[in-house]
Amino acid sequence: MTLEIYLDLFSQPCRSVYIFAKKNNIQFDYKKIALFDGEQYTEEFGKVSMIRKLPAIRDGDFCLAESIAILVYLAEKFHTPDHWYPADSQKRAKVNEYLSWQHSAMRIHGSKMLWFRVLIPAMGVEIPKEKMDTALEDLNASLNLVEQNFLQDKPFIGGDQISLADLVAIVEIMQPVGAGLDVFEDRPKLRAWKDRVREAIGAELFDEAHQGILSAQEMVKTMEPGKMEPFKPKILKYFLS
């Protein structure tokens, strides 16, 4: 049975899984789930992921959610090149260090900027200045840690070659870029790293995967009025309470 991967490339974890599978020539059936249409709540998708989150995979009778778990599963099952998830215990530990840290830091702060600058305003809600200022401070603090603690003076987070840590990091950092925020301005080290990651992935694949998020500001202009209204209470409670 063909591996099925359930994705919406507007989501940064989905982009990491998509890029990894494509880059490593892992054959899969791309199942698009439109998050803004609520397709994650259908009965059919519930059979794949009871937690209703993307990405998710179905490999025969085996189903798995959570992007990091999926990336590790694919790396190990399909014996991808060692640099992605090194066998060496110390090199792997450094990759795991970033993967463990990013959930409550880089990912959430990058995502929040997209919601604050693009998606929540599209609902007709203005973000309080103090909330925006705090979100920017948190984002910059996480970017500083990526540069100073994880990247340091290495070409990539894991060392001399790209790893899962770099892949997860770049899709997260591109999220505020989709909100019109140039996070690479005045950060030459981070910009040079981003260029190396894009080259290692392949410019065509990198650009394809990020096409949707980089068009986010235009997308909301053409979005059907009231499309996100069913999710509005939950989103506002999560981000603004």
* Predicted pLDDT at 14: 97
Over range 191-211, report the average pLDDT.
98
| Residue spans per domain, the chain | 4-77, 89-240
Percent of the chain with pLDDT over 90: 87
For residue 227, is pLDDT > 90? no
Cα 47 from Cα 34, distance rounded (Å): 17
State the pLDDT confidence band at 225, using cuts at 50, 70 and 90. confident
For residue 61, is pLDDT > 80? yes
Pair 35, 229: CB distance under 8 Å: no
Who wins on pLDDT, 51 or 224? 51
Nearest to 55 by CA among 6, 99, 125, 93: 6
Cα 184 from Cα 102, distance rounded (Å): 18
For residue 75, is pLDDT > 90? yes
Secondary structure (H, E, C), 68-116: HHHHHHHHHHCCCCCCCCCCCHHHHHHHHHHHHHHHHCHHHHHHHHHHH
Lowest mean pLDDT among 54-68, 72-86, 225-239: 225-239
Crossing angle of helices 164-177/12-23, nearest 10°?
130
Q: Which two tokens stand for residue 3?
A: 């591996």
Over range 87-116, report the average pLDDT.
96
State the pLDDT confidence band at 96, using cuts at 50, 70 and 90. very high
* Predicted pLDDT at 11: 94
For residue 1, is pLDDT > 80? no
- Which architecture characterizes domain 89-240 according to CATH? Up-down Bundle (1.20)
State the pLDDT confidence band at 53, using cuts at 50, 70 and 90. very high
Helix (H, G, I), strand (E, B), or coil: what is residue 56? strand
- Which architecture characterizes domain 4-77 according to CATH? 3-Layer(aba) Sandwich (3.40)
For residue 99, is pLDDT > 90? yes
* Predicted pLDDT at 139: 97
Q: Mind listing the pLDDT tens digit for each residue in 136-155?
A: 999 999 999 999 999 999 99
